[in-house]
Amino acid sequence: MHAPRQGVAGADVVSPRSSGRTRLITIRGLDKTFGGSTIYKDFSLDLPQGRFISIFGPNGCGKSTLINMISGLAPMDAGEVLYDGQTIQETRISYVFQNYREALFPWLRAIDNIHYPLKVMGVPAAERRARVDNLLAEFEVKIDLNAYPYTLSGGQQQTVSILRALVTSPEVLFLDEPFSALDYEMTLFMREQLQKIFMKTRTTMLLVSHDLEEAIQLADKVLLLTRRPTRVAEIVDVDLAWPRTAAVTTSERFTGLKRHCLDVFWRQVKGE
């Protein structure tokens, strides 16, 4: 039931991946209005899969709206989104919400929260346990998972959220400002954790961030958006080495990238 869908493709389908080309997320002709105000009008974009992509832009420009629509969480007025040629429904997608407090199920223990997506998929209990155990071992989780989420710290709760999102081995993972409710120390720690996860799994990640430093540190590409109606201002390549240690984030190259992104951002905000 949870078999990777692209793995069962018939002989007539030659996956672009097998031909060595970059797999793409293609967004075409996306429209979205909220009560008369246009957020997106004929928005099109290609993004590479298997990469870490950060989304950065002015407040209220529609970053959340964009990832909600392309993750299938919210409807679009018009347009098409394909992951490597497959629809949203045919793609294994996970989503990490900003507000972990309101996204975890407080009536379930942390461990049962992590089990839940597999339960929904109909994975048998024994296999579920095995997969969760693997995941926990892989990421060396040191949280008391028999606790209820509300007894855990904010960082631990968001870690549980991320584990819950990862347990299905998603092809694409969306994160909407996942660390913005955490204190600074925890935020730094969680950025490191997320990096580790990405380097291990190479899962396509789409991260919305309101922190430019974070957006650049974690990403292969930073998608800079304009004010509404929203367009792509620029897609900035972050050609820095992984892992993005403190040495990397204090390098001249990093500060240069940051200055460039900030320039683009201010130009957009001032509407030049």
Binding of residue 6 to Mg ion (CB under 5 A)? no
Q: How far apart are CA 49 and CA 23, in angstroms?
A: 5
In terms of DSSP H, where are the helices of 139-240?
Answer: 154-166, 184-201, 212-218
Name the phi and psi angles at 180, rounded to 5.
-75, -15
Cβ nearer to Mg ion, comparing 67 with 167: 67
8 A C-beta contact, residue 189 and residue 155: yes
With contacts defined by CB under 6 A, name the span among 58-66, 211-219, 241-249, 255-263 that binds ligand ADP: 58-66
8 A C-beta contact, residue 73 and residue 95: yes
Interface residue with ligand ADP, options 25, 47, 52, 62 (CB under 6 A): 62
Cβ nearer to ligand ADP, comparing 63 with 258: 63
Cβ nearer to another protein, comparing 121 with 247: 121
Q: CB of 63: closest distance to Mg ion in angstroms?
A: 5
Q: How far apart are CA 163 and CA 139, in angstroms?
A: 9
Interface residue with another protein, options 99, 180, 249, 251 (CB under 8 A): 99
Binding of residue 75 to another protein (CB under 8 A)? no
Binding of residue 63 to ligand ADP (CB under 6 A)? yes
Cβ nearer to another protein, comparing 120 with 137: 120
Q: CB of 107: closest distance to another protein in angstroms?
A: 5
Binding of residue 193 to Mg ion (CB under 5 A)? no
Q: CB of 228: closest distance to ligand ADP in angstroms?
A: 7
Q: Which residues are within 8 A (CB) of 235 and not within 5 positions of it... i.e. 6 or more apart?
A: 221, 222, 223, 224
**8-state DSSP, 16:** T
Cβ nearer to ligand ADP, comparing 62 with 155: 62
Angle at 254 between CA 250 and CA 260, to 5 degrees: 135
Q: Which residues are within 8 A (CB) of 248 and not within 5 positions of it... i.e. 6 or more apart?
A: 217, 240, 241, 254
Q: CB of 97: closest distance to another protein in angstroms?
A: 6
Binding of residue 187 to Mg ion (CB under 5 A)? no
Q: CB of 163: closest distance to Mg ion in angstroms?
A: 23
59 binds, among ligand ADP, Mg ion, another protein, none (CB under 5 to 8 A by kind): ligand ADP
C-alpha closest to that of 206 among 3, 58, 45: 45
Cβ nearer to another protein, comparing 109 with 228: 109
Peptide bond preceding 124: is omega within 30 degrees of 0, i.e. cis? no
C-alpha closest to that of 31 among 53, 8, 5, 62: 62
Binding of residue 64 to ligand ADP (CB under 6 A)? yes
Binding of residue 106 to ligand ADP (CB under 6 A)? no
Binding footprint of Mg ion on the chain (CB under 5 A): 64
